[in-house]
Structure 1
Amino acid sequence: MKIKYTVLENGLDFVLCSINNLMIATEDTIDEYSKKRLIKYSLLHLSSGIELIFKSRLFKEHWTYVFADMNKAKKELLISGDFHSVDNNTLFSRLENLCSIKVEQHDVKILNNLRKRRNRAEHFDFNEPILSVESLIHKSISILIKFLVENYDVNDFCDEETTLFTEIKDAMRKLTKHYDDAKAIAQKMLNQTGLSEYAVICPECQEVFLLRDDNVKCYFCGYEDTGESAADNYILNIMGIDGYSTVKHGGEYPLYECLQCGKDTFVLDSENERAFCFSCDFDCDVKELKFCSDCGSLFYESDGKGIGICPNCIEYKLGKDD
């Protein structure tokens, strides 16, 4: 007897294993220790499964596309498995450039976040809110199912692939109810604070249940942090911007001094057209913000009828004229 899987079948099997672990972890009878292990292995298996499924689409287009260096692609290396396969970043660019398959940037950020957490769980200490990891797993599986439906003809699946795909869809329907129930409870708790209108996306679970103050708290996954750390996590996990790489390459890190509380926790999220502070409840539309043409500082200009100079510079110029 041999263990034999197609690339796609192997990936789907990993994903189904991930979902099964997550389903068991949500049962009320599971103790805390077992729950942690099940969630951890759900994360590990899902990341491996998604990577295999994406690579299987490259492989379907042409077998050389799965090699890190396509110039060194050889059939005998493919058969033996003795080669370096394409990395995650190159994977998305090859799907777009060689297969005409574009994975939306929002989805890429979620999948990159999944991979980063997988790396931490596999190679380092791991300290994450369980619901945060569960939320990431849910979002990633939804992206995967959409990818399969849009970029594969499921009628071409072999019997084993079809069975696995059907089981994945059925299991996800059951999990979604549990997940929706958890969000409904979180919404009720958030509403009780009377501050639900100030909630923003949590950088850990990526659900809109995070309230901001001197210390931030997510009413869904339980994430708590300082404003400074939460702002950096938001920029990294939600906006996909790494501070070190951005500064190294001369880019602008979107973190500024808050116009209300004065702390360096004001995030400018241009993609979502919002700007908000992680140390107070100040937020606004990015169109209401300007950079001073004289000093370069950020300032608030809601009517759009200003002269492009911040109040401090205007005051300074008026003072000089006196």
Structure 2
Amino acid sequence: MESNLLENSLIHLLDAVDRLDETIPDIISLKYSVFHLWSGIRLLLEKRLSDEHRSHIHSNKKDTHHPKINVDTGWDAPLDFKDLKEKLYAFCGMDIDKYDYILNKIRKDYDKIEHSKFRGSKVQITSNLVEVWPFIVDFISKHMNLSNDSYSTNLFDQTCEIMDTHLKFIRDKKNEINDVLLNQLKKSFYAKPLKCPVCLQDAIPLLPNSDPKYSCAFCNNTTHWKQLALECGSDLNYVGPFDCLNCSSHGVLQTKDQWICLSCCHTWEFEQISICNMCGERLVWSQKNTPYCEDCKRPV
């Protein structure tokens, strides 16, 4: 099986992009597209690891979900994504941490399919596919040798050809919403759109209103501020969430240039707020010249 990892990976990737090429894909096509996308990416990473040594793609941990397999065959559990990344770094010198946000998004969608909890649309899934596509192309060009493999080359060429359609689809969608998003940002309490944790586009205008929800202009996903703050802090490149110093709600995020609260719609400059030096979990006013929050200053 290891000798066909590249071929199997490219077959999965071709199936993923092909299923999204339908004008209105049904839920089965959407699910299988995510399934094949993550399977293809995972096999691609395993192929690079197996090039160092075939034993690297197996875990030393026993498969607790299928213990009979371990007893009867001696097979080890498959690598989880964390172990796969660590081995790529240890044995291949590869650091893919900067792609965590998109790889983890696709992996989590894959896991939701396994537990029948996945919901998605063509816009959302195609956007994720386009977001991860540069990583796939870069990985194949740098770490896979297709020069003497005409079948794998043909698979990849077919995938690239269909991807041109998806790239155009996303470009057209961005152009379609551009004017609407710009008008919404004029009313937003934060000058830039927040990245959507569903479609991964910078397309959530932070419009102050009595409704505690925010909507993505790109994929139309609507999320309660608590869930949005949590997903932005755990899955995307934002720091937080923290308890707000103004309203006490757990909705403050640190963006690239400001602090923002998704609950009370307040913003602060970087220098106005600091993170407690002791617990790292609470915020303090920088002008008070104290590096510790009130809880950490209390005697034990």
Aligning the two structures, in what range does the TM-score lie when normalised by the shorter sequence? 0.7 to 0.9
Corresponding position of 2:259: 275
Partner-residue secondary structure (3-state), 1:6: helix
- Aligned equivalents of 2:99 and 2:253: distance in 1? 21
Corresponding position of 1:290: 274
Quick one: which of 86, 89, 92 aligns to 1:99? 92
- Aligned equivalents of 2:53 and 2:136: distance in 1? 21
Cα pair 2:2 2:47 within 8 Å, conserved: no
The code of the aligned residue for 1:101 comes to M
Quick one: which of 215, 221, 224 aligns to 1:223? 221
Corresponding position of 2:230: 232
The code of the aligned residue for 2:243 comes to E
Matched, 1:255 2:238: no
- Aligned equivalents of 1:294 and 1:273: distance in 2? 24
Cα pair 1:294 1:309 within 8 Å, conserved: no
Instruction: Count residues with an aligned counterpart.
Output: 276
Compared CA separation, residues 170 and 226, structure 1 to 2 (3 A): same
Corresponding position of 1:209: 203
Quick one: which of 8, 11, 19 aligns to 2:6? 8
- Alpha-carbon shift at residue 160 of structure 1 (Å): 0.8
Q: Deviations over 1:1-58 (max 9, x none)?
A: xx9981101100100010011111xx2xx3xxx4332221111111111111110111
The code of the aligned residue for 1:289 comes to I
- Alpha-carbon shift at residue 132 of structure 1 (Å): 2.5
- Alpha-carbon shift at residue 209 of structure 1 (Å): 0.8
Select between 255-264 and 199-208 the one with higher mean Cα deviation: 255-264
Structure 1 residues 68-147: aligned runs within 5 Å: 68-69=59-60, 82-103=75-96, 105-147=97-139
Partner-residue secondary structure (3-state), 1:279: coil
Structure 1 residues 11-90: aligned runs within 5 Å: 11-24=9-22, 27=23, 30=24, 34-69=25-60, 82-90=75-83
Corresponding position of 1:308: 289
- Aligned equivalents of 1:100 and 1:191: distance in 2? 42
Partner-residue secondary structure (3-state), 1:155: coil
CA root-mean-square deviation = 3.3
Cα pair 1:8 1:52 within 8 Å, conserved: yes
Q: Deviations over 1:253-307 (max 9, x none)?
A: 93223345543211235xx464322224433454442247899952455xxxx45
Q: Deviations over 1:184-206 (max 9, x none)?
A: 22222212323363421112222
Corresponding position of 2:145: 153
TM-score by length of 1: 0.75
Compared CA separation, residues 110 and 279, structure 1 to 2 (3 A): same
- Alpha-carbon shift at residue 64 of structure 1 (Å): 1.2
Partner-residue secondary structure (3-state), 1:221: coil
- Aligned equivalents of 1:81 and 1:7: distance in 2? 21
Compared CA separation, residues 55 and 274, structure 1 to 2 (3 A): farther
If you compute each CA radius of gyration, which structure gives the higher value, 1 or 2? 1
Select between 44-53 and 144-153 the one with higher mean Cα deviation: 144-153
The code of the aligned residue for 2:147 comes to N
Partner-residue secondary structure (3-state), 1:90: helix
Corresponding position of 1:249: none
TM-score by length of 2: 0.80
Q: Deviations over 1:117-149 (max 9, x none)?
A: 111012232234542232222222332111111
Quick one: which of 179, 184, 192 aligns to 2:175? 184
Q: Matched residues, percent identical? A: 22
- Aligned equivalents of 2:156 and 2:236: distance in 1? 29
Cα pair 1:44 1:122 within 8 Å, conserved: no
- Aligned equivalents of 2:57 and 2:45: distance in 1? 10
Unaligned runs of 5+ in 2: 62-69, 295-300
Select between 85-94 and 125-134 the one with higher mean Cα deviation: 125-134
Unaligned runs of 5+ in 1: 71-76, 241-252, 314-322
- Alpha-carbon shift at residue 89 of structure 1 (Å): 0.9
